């Protein structure tokens, strides 16, 4: 676009030449990807000005500004030109904390926003229908109205450039979802007809021009041969340069990680041990051992790993390797295993000592979240070991990407990736187990009168809100039966049981928002649960029966899709529980 081009050209005219130290610093990790580097190159060519950006591969969404930057060797890192380092570190740790908080907030608010979005879509369609149709037509077109509301919901997820076209395709699929052939045709027509015609024409021309599958070959005398050789050499040089850049970031990020572990040793462990030795103990030797023994072992391991990387980087060249250094490191991860196994106990000990020992509480107040600790508390510093493995994985993938297939390091890098990937899987499994346990406790607190839910290997699969119905007369034909809505239920499906609770709504005076309340009714083991479908009729839709040893519930979902999804998930859960 001309106005965008004008903006960058004007900006470049205000910057001093590169020979005089002029440059534009973009605080976005464009240096971490091929596409980003290409953008920087085009901007430099367009404006005649040096553009730089962080190359951070391992670091998070904001911390990349502290990584290496593209361009010449900087006497002062670009961030230090604009910001004081302590304040930048404070901002970085705060944004990191903010990201974690937002993940939790998104997880909790997502169902509420989904319900709000559903209500808004329904109101919009309802108002439109009410303004344009008679009451008789409204009653006859309820399914169409519901389909339009569902279409608006899907449209909000897609960010389509042509909303009317998307809505048309959605409604067509909704009407013909039982016809796979029709749906396949609809999907095909989603692409641009002109583009599809051009593609087919191009493929036909290629086939006509090349009736035989012959591969062209170049002789050494061909003028293009020398050009291809030069191009291959340039790609090899680029690959070696990028590989060197990744190794440097690996070393730099490892040095920063070790420094964070040293903060735990210098700020917390040494003063606590010194106080213990001088008979002015803040904590007992046993508590110091529980809190810090494993993290100090990790520090020793990673200092050796950092030393190996430093030695290798000092003599670094295109042929050198780091894969075997990672394999050696990966064979000593039992120290990390000890730390992660004891991690919950470490945190509980810190919390208990803070509550029970005033001297330790005052000690943490003096040392937590200071400039020396990078504005982090002791529990936040103990998060670094688990997060480092994700960074290792990013760096190893980047390193292998820029390592030629014939390079001696390629095989070792693949082995190292498998090692770190497997260990990260172990960490993720531990996180998942702890989260599932916490989730069960949250559900238990949420439901009034709920029995203890925490059992080994139990986890929540799905929650489904339904209406509980009562059949007015079971003696008449199935299709003529009338049902009354007696109450609202929430069905909590676990991998081994179904928990049934009633659901109510409570309102607070002077507040518009409401709160759902839950009352425990029953819990049924999945292998003792029987499902019976109720066919749709004039008087009932989306209904089914859940039959337990002592209770029976006639239920109905609001939407047809919810019924089929719920029954499918429930039947799979029952099948899995019986196979154990």
The domains located in the chain, with CATH, are 2-82 (no CATH), 100-190 (no CATH), 246-441 (1.20.900.10), 449-579 (2.30.29.30)
532, β-bridge pairs: 545
Query: Phi-psi region for residue 71, left (φ > 0), alpha (ψ -120 to 50) or beta?
Result: left
pLDDT of residue 193: 39
pLDDT of residue 552: 92
pLDDT of residue 38: 85
Q: Are the CB atoms for 517 and 448 separated by under 8 Å?
A: yes
pLDDT of residue 106: 82
| Spans in the chain with pLDDT lower than 70 | 57-64, 71-74, 176-238, 580
50-52-56 Cα angle (round to 5)? 165
Per-residue pLDDT tens digits for 145-156: 777 777 777 777
24, β-bridge pairs: 51
pLDDT of residue 564: 92
Q: Give CA separation, 152 vs 145, 160, 350, 465, 568, in Å.
A: 11, 11, 50, 22, 25
500, β-bridge pairs: 491, 522
Nearest to 118 by CA among 143, 150, 148, 144: 150
* Residue owning tokens 């969404």: 61
Contacts of residue 399, Cβ cutoff 8 Å, sequence gap at least 6: 243, 246, 247, 250, 322, 413
pLDDT of residue 36: 81
Kindly state the tokens that stand for 489.
């239920």
Q: Could you give the CA distance from residue 410 to residue 407 in angstroms, rounded to a whole number?
A: 6
pLDDT of residue 63: 59
Per-residue pLDDT tens digits for 520-576: 999 999 999 999 999 988 889 999 999 999 999 999 998 888 999 999 999 999 999
391-395-401 Cα angle (round to 5)? 150
């Amino acid at each position: 676009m001309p106005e965008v081009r004008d903006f960058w050209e004007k900006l470049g005219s205000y910057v001093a030449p590169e020979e005089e130290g002029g440059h534009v610093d973009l605080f976005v990790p464009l240096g971490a990807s091929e596409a980003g580097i290409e953008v920087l190159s085009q901007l430099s060519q367009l404006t005649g000005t040096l553009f730089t950006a962080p190359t951070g591969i391992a670091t998070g969404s904001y911390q990349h500004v502290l990584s290496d930057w593209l361009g010449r060797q900087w006497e002062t890192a670009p961030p230090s030109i604009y910001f004081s380092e302590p304040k930048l570190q404070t901002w970085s740790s705060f944004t990191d904390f903010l990201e974690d908080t937002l993940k939790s907030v998104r997880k909790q608010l997502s169902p509420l926003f989904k319900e709000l979005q559903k209500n808004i879509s329904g109101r919009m369609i309802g108002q439109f229908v009410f303004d344009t149709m008679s009451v008789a037509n409204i009653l006859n077109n309820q399914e169409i109205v519901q389909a339009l509301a569902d279409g608006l919901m899907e449209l909000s997820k897609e960010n389509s450039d042509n909303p009317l076209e998307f809505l048309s395709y959605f409604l067509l699929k909704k009407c013909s979802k039982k016809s796979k052939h029709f749906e396949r045709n609809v999907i095909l027509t989603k692409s641009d007809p002109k583009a599809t015609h051009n593609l087919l024409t191009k493929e036909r021309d290629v086939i006509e021009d090349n009736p035989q599958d012959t591969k062209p070959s170049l002789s050494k005398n061909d003028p293009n041969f020398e050009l291809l050789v030069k191009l291959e050499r340039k790609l090899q040089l680029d690959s070696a340069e990028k590989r060197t850049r990744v190794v440097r970031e690996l070393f730099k990020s490892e040095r920063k990680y070790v420094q964070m572990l040293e903060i735990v040793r210098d700020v917390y462990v040494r003063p606590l041990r010194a106080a213990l030795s001088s008979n002015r103990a803040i904590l007992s030797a046993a508590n110091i051992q529980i809190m810090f023994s494993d993290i100090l072992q990790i520090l020793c391991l990673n200092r050796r790993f950092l030393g190996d990387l430093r030695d290798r980087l000092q003599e670094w060249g295109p042929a050198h390797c780091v894969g075997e250094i990672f394999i050696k490191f990966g064979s000593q991860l039992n120290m990390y295993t000890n730390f992660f196994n004891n991690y919950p106990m470490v945190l509980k000990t810190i919390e208990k000592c803070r509550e029970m020992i005033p001297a330790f509480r005052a000690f943490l107040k003096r040392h937590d979240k200071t400039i020396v600790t990078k504005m982090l508390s002791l529990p936040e510093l103990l998060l670094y070991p688990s997060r480092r493995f994700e960074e290792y994985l990013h760096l190893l993938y980047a390193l292998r990407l820029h390592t030629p297939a014939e390079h001696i390091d390629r095989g070792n890098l693949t082995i190292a990736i498998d090692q770190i990937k497997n260990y990260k899987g172990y960490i993720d499994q531990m996180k998942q187990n702890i989260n599932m346990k916490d989730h069960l406790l949250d559900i238990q607190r949420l439901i009034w009168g709920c029995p203890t839910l925490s059992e080994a290997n139990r986890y929540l699969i799905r929650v489904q809100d339904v209406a509980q119905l009562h059949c007015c007369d079971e003696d008449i034909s199935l299709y003529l039966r009338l049902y009354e809505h007696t109450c609202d239920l929430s069905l909590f499906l676990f991998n081994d049981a179904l928990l049934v609770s009633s659901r109510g709504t409570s309102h607070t005076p002077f507040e518009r928002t409401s709160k759902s309340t839950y009352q425990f009714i029953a819990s049924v083991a999945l292998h003792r649960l029987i499902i019976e479908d109720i066919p749709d009729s004039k008087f009932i839709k989306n209904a089914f029966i859940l039959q337990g040893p002592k209770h029976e519930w006639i239920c109905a979902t609001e939407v047809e899709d919810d019924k089929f999804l719920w029954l499918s998930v429930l039947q799979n859960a029952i099948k899995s529980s019986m196979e154990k």
